[in-house]
């Protein structure tokens, strides 16, 4: 992945170079059109929940995920919240963001419903029906992309078990034009009941 | 910068009275009449953002609640103000963050020894559903207790000791004030209420059932009792959490190696001051009444073609008492369908494609995945007549979900790009959401039932209009095919400006998340959020109050 990004940056640099004149230092008042495609950037202080490990009571009804995202050269972004229970991925939430001008922050608002996003893990952690209930580990990913299309389209997410964070990204002039940014949490489904509120239940 | 421009925009309006505005003309579709107060408009109009608009289009609440969450490196802590009258665009809402009170808490046992515990603190007089202020672990091996900040006020706490032999406690009505003695000690009681009695076989009340696992949970506090394993006579005793709960859900079940087996689940009244005796009668489980079911889930499309429904959650709950006993025997098991629609369940470490069941009738609930075209199903399957070690093949058929079609436009009649949330007003339904396209239209497959539909414009300032969040209650009928909703026309909105200031010396609080809420149909709905800029300002578009 890292190599792919390096190659892409080099490719983009080459493209920028090839679009300008042979001069390394441009003359005054000549604007160089910037063709480098920026990846969506998540504004780290705005990521909510901020903790890396999400401790989720088995009876938590749902919790919210928020983040601000900026893309320097795109106005249309898509996001997908993907739950992984160790065997398969499930789409927790998804949406699109449109801002008036590239570089303006867009707000991602998503919801995670543990009962339907991690059904097996919740079942194993539910002390009310399981004498052997213990904490279960899953993963939650927030994918944000400037691509127009996910590899797994929305009407196929329920019958697809992996690859929900991948995009359709055919190479243009030797490099893929789009990017995916991911933030990932470890999810701990705990056998203790919610003490606060079933919709505001992260520890 | 955006906020400065917005202020200038409003100020510009103020100084340019008398000039027709194309934006206003487009937005409302009529020649605008400028105004400063409603008195200057016709009798059926109100003055909104210096324009007279139809009074019927103002549908918003009179007051909102606001929550401000400062960044983690701020000296301030989350703060809420409730029921603030909605201000108009010419006013500025200043949120002054109260000076936080540093707080430290420890948990001690009856002997005064420190105890490790989970501590949840929630505030009184908070936005419903957003009461939780602190959720942390109080260690017993550090010099200090758990440290956090709270604003002055009244709070409640729920404490769950790490040692499960000690039930939790609930402490209500403690106040946080500057200058209070710290650390605050939350002391576990010397004695807890108890439920004790005997676990017996339902067929013979004299016959104790050793090995049964008994536990209880407070219906309101959600704090658990201790766990007891019935002794060789079937006797048990559990200690209850120290709470204001009077109702506890008592569960008793046999250990996993004896499953599938009947259990017991009942809500029990316990005197606030005393103990409770409870005989727990559990039906006999034997190979005579054990069996397995192979179940597959199929969906039928509009042409009558069947297809497997993958990733559906299927729950079996025994529903009818054996021998017509008053207390139904408890047995519940949950599974998921695979790509062939076959239900699989976890039993211990094994994944089985047959479901272990006991002879009974079952309420079977099938919840297809959220994005599925097929509707949830609740039905009763009768397995009472099955023989010894029976295996039954069953297939359940799901109908298509109704396709809900809608259209969102602005007060000025423009199509609006928006996210449309469907929040269920019935516990059996699940939350869904749809996205409108450029023409403002959306379509989504929904389970029948009541929903609170919340329309959230992608850009509240799109097209020069102010587009607020709107809420509508809808009822989706139990039919297949398309169900068209009445067109949703957003009410006109106000862009409300404000700023966040610190209560210590009035300094600007930057990067604070400001969110506004209303309470609709028992749901707390976010009306929008913004982050305060470098000058502390924010803006949120709100519906205009009635």
One-character DSSP codes across B200-260? EETTEEEEE-TT-EEEEEETTT--B---EE--TTSEEEEEPPBSS--EEEEEEE--GGG-S
Residue-level pLDDT at B330: 83
Distance CA B358, CA B330 (A): 10
Q: Return the C-alpha torsion angle A14, A15, A21, A22, nearest 10.
A: 20
> Which of B297, B434, B418, B455 has the alpha carbon at shortest distance from B371?
B434
Question: Chain-wide mean pLDDT for chain B?
Answer: 85
Is the interface score ipTM higher than 0.90? no
* Sheet containing A106-112, strands listed edge to edge, beginning at the edge strand earlier in sequence: A41-42, A63-70, A106-112
**Which residue has tokens 């209850």?**
B240
**Residue of higher predicted confidence among B265 and B1:** B265
Contacts of A30 (CB under 8 A, 6+ apart): none
Q: Please check whether residue B170 is in contact with residue B158, taking contact to mean a CB–CB distance below 8 angstroms.
A: yes
Query: Which two three-digit tokens encode residue B513?
Result: 């998340």
Q: What is the pTM of this model?
A: 0.79
What residues of chain A lie within 8 A of the CB of B371, using their CB? 91, 154-155, 157-158
Chain A residues close to B222, C-beta within 8 Å: 59, 193-195
pLDDT for the residue numbered B37: 67
Summarize the confidence of residues B22-26 as an average pLDDT: 34
Residue-wise burial string across B203-229, b where 16 or more C-beta atoms lie within 10 A, e elsewhere: eeeeebbeebbbbbbbeebbbbbbbbe
**What is the structure's pLDDT at A192?**
86
Closest C-alpha to A90, from A118, A70, A65:
A118
Chain B residue at shortest CA distance from A156? B371
| Residue B538 pLDDT greater than 90, yes or no | yes
What is the predicted pLDDT for the residue at B500?
96
Q: Is the pLDDT of residue B318 over 90?
A: no
pLDDT for A196: 65
Q: Cα(B487)–Cα(B19) distance, rounded to whole angstroms?
A: 33
Exposed/middle/buried for residue B173 (C-beta within 10 Å: 0-12, 13-18, 19+)? exposed
- Express as a percent the part of chain B with pLDDT over 90: 53
User: Please, is B362 exposed, middle or buried when counting C-beta atoms within 10 Å of its C-beta (0-12, 13-18, 19+)?
Assistant: buried
| Residue B458 to residue A97, Cβ atoms within 8 A | yes
Task: Calculate mean pLDDT across residues B273-285.
Answer: 90
Does any CB of chain A come closer than 8 Å to the CB of residue B253?
Answer: yes
At residue A142, what are phi and psi to the nearest 5 degrees?
Answer: -110, 115
Contacts of residue B458 in chain A, CB cutoff 8 Å?
Answer: 96-98
How many other CB atoms are found less than 10 A from the CB of residue B281?
A: 20
Highest mean pLDDT among A79-83, A155-159, B59-63, B169-173: A79-83
Say yes or no for a CB contact (<8 Å) between B249 and A128.
yes
Q: What is the pLDDT along chain A (203 residues), one digit of tens a residue?
A: 444 444 344 344 333 333 333 445 545 555 555 556 889 999 988 898 988 999 999 988 889 899 999 999 999 999 999 999 998 999 999 988 888 888 888 889 898 989 889 988 998 898 877 777 889 999 999 999 999 999 999 888 877 889 999 999 998 888 889 999 999 999 999 998 887 665 667 76
Average pLDDT estimate for B488-517: 91
Q: What's the pLDDT tens digit per position in B217-271? A: 999 888 999 999 999 999 999 999 999 999 999 999 998 888 888 899 889 999 9
Contact status, residue B197 vs residue B277, Cβ threshold 8 Å: yes
A contacts of B132 (beta carbons < 8 Å): 196-197, 200-201
CA closest to B311 among chain A residues = A158
Overall average pLDDT of the B206-218 stretch: 92
Say whether pLDDT at B27 is over 50: no
Bridge partners, B129 (sequence order): none
CA–CA separation, B478 and B449 (whole Å):
8
pLDDT at B3: 43
In whole angstroms, how far apart are CA B497 and each of A109, B91, B467, B538? 22, 7, 15, 6
B130 CA to chain A: closest CA distance, Å? 7
Binned at pLDDT 50, 70 and 90, residue B30 comes out as: very low
Give the H or E element holding residue B6: helix B2-15
Average pLDDT over residues B416-432: 88
| Beta strand extents in B410-457 (DSSP E only) | 418-424, 432-435, 441-445, 449-457
Q: Which of residues 517-536 of B touch A (CB under 8 A)?
A: 529, 531
What single string gives the DSSP state of each residue in A34-101? P-PPPPPEE-GGG-BS--SEEEEETT---EEEEEEEE-TT-SEEEEEEEEE-SS-EEEEEEEEEE-SS
The reply to whether residue B371 touches residue A155, judged by beta carbons under 8 angstroms, is yes
**Mean pLDDT in residue range B11-26:** 32
Instruction: Output B38 or B533, whichever has higher pLDDT.
Output: B533
Which helix (H) or strand (E) segment holds residue B38: the answer is none
Check: CB of residue B211 under 8 Å from CB of residue B234: no
Give pLDDT tens digits for B433-454: 899 999 999 999 999 999 999 9
Asked if A157 lies within 8 A of B310 by C-beta distance, the reply is: no
């Amino acid at each position: 992945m890292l190599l792919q990004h390096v190659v892409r940056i080099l490719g983009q640099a080459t493209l920028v170079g090839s679009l300008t004149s042979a001069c390394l230092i441009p003359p005054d008042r000549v604007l160089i059109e910037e063709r480098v495609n920026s990846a969506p950037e998540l504004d780290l202080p705005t990521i909510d929940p901020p903790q890396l490990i999400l401790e989720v009571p088995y009876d938590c009804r749902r919790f919210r995920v928020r983040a601000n995202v900026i893309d320097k050269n795109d106005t249309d972004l898509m996001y997908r919240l993907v739950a992984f229970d160790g065997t398969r991925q499930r789409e927790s939430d998804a949406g699109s963001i449109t801002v008036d001008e590239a570089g303006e922050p867009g707000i991602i608002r998503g919801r995670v419903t543990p009962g339907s996003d991690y059904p097996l893990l919740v079942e194993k952690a539910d002390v009310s029906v399981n004498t052997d209930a213990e904490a279960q580990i899953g993963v939650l990913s927030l994918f944000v992309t400037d691509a127009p299309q996910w590899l797994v389209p929305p009407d196929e997410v329920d019958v697809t078990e992996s690859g929900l964070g991948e995009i359709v990204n055919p190479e243009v002039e030797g490099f893929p034009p789009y990017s995916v940014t991911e933030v990932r949490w470890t999810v701990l489904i705990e056998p203790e009941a919610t003490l606060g509120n079933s919709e505001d239940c992260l520890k | 910068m955006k906020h400065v421009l917005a202020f200038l925009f409003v100020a510009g309006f103020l100084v340019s009275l008398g000039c027709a505005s194309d934006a206003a003309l487009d937005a409302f579709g009529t020649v605008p009449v400028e105004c400063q107060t409603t008195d200057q408009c016709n009798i059926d109009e109100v003055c909104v953002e210096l324009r007279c608009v139809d009074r019927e289009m103002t549908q918003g609440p009179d007051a909102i609640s606001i929550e401000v969450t400062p960044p983690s490196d701020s000296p301030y802590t989350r703060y809420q103000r409730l029921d603030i009258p909605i201000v108009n665009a010419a006013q500025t809402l200043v949120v002054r963050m109260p000076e936080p009170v540093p707080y430290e808490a420890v948990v001690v046992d009856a002997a005064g020894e420190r105890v490790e515990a989970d501590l949840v603190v929630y505030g009184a007089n908070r936005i419903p559903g957003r009461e939780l202020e602190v959720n942390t672990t109080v260690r017993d091996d550090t010099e200090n207790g758990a440290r956090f900040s709270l604003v002055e006020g009244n709070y409640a706490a729920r404490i769950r000791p790490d040692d499960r032999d000690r039930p939790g406690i609930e402490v209500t009505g403690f106040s946080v004030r500057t200058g209070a003695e710290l650390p605050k000690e939350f002391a576990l009681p010397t004695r807890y209420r108890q439920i004790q009695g005997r676990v017996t076989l339902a067929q013979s009340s004299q016959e104790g059932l050793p090995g049964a696992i008994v536990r209880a949970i407070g219906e309101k506090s959600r704090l658990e009792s201790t766990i007891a394993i019935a002794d060789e006579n079937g006797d048990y005793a559990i200690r209850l959490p120290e709470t204001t709960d009077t109702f506890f859900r008592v569960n008793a079940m046999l250990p996993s190696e004896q499953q599938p087996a009947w259990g017991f689940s009942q809500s029990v009244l316990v005197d606030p001051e005393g103990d409770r005796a409870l005989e727990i009668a559990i039906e006999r489980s034997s190979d005579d009444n054990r069996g397995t079911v192979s179940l597959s889930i199929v969906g039928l499309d509009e042409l009558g073609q069947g297809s497997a429904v993958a990733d559906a959650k299927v729950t079996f709950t025994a529903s009818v008492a054996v021998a017509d006993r008053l207390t139904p025997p408890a047995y519940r098991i949950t599974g998921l369908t695979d790509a062939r629609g076959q239900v699989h369940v976890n039993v211990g470490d094994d994944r089985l494609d047959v479901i272990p069941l006991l002879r009974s009738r079952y309420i079977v609930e099938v919840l297809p995945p959220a994005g599925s075209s097929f509707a949830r199903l609740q039905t009763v399957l009768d397995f009472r007549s099955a023989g010894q070690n029976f295996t039954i093949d069953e297939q359940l058929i799901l109908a298509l979900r109704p396709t809900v079609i809608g259209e969102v436009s602005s007060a000025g009649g423009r199509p609006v790009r928006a996210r449309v949330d469907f929040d269920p007003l019935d516990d059996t339904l699940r939350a869904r959401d749809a996205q409108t396209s450029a023409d403002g239209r959306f379509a989504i497959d929904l389970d029948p039932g009541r929903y609170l539909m919340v329309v959230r414009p992608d850009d509240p300032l799109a097209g020069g209009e102010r587009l607020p969040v709107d809420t509508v209650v809808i009822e989706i009928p139990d039919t297949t095919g398309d169900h068209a909703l009445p067109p949703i026309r957003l009410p006109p909105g106000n862009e409300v400006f404000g700023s966040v200031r610190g209560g210590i010396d009035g300094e600007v609080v930057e990067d604070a998340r400001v969110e506004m809420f209303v309470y609709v149909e028992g749901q707390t709905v976010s009306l929008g959020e913004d982050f305060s800029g470098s000058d502390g300002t924010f803006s949120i578009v709100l519906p205009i109050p009635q």
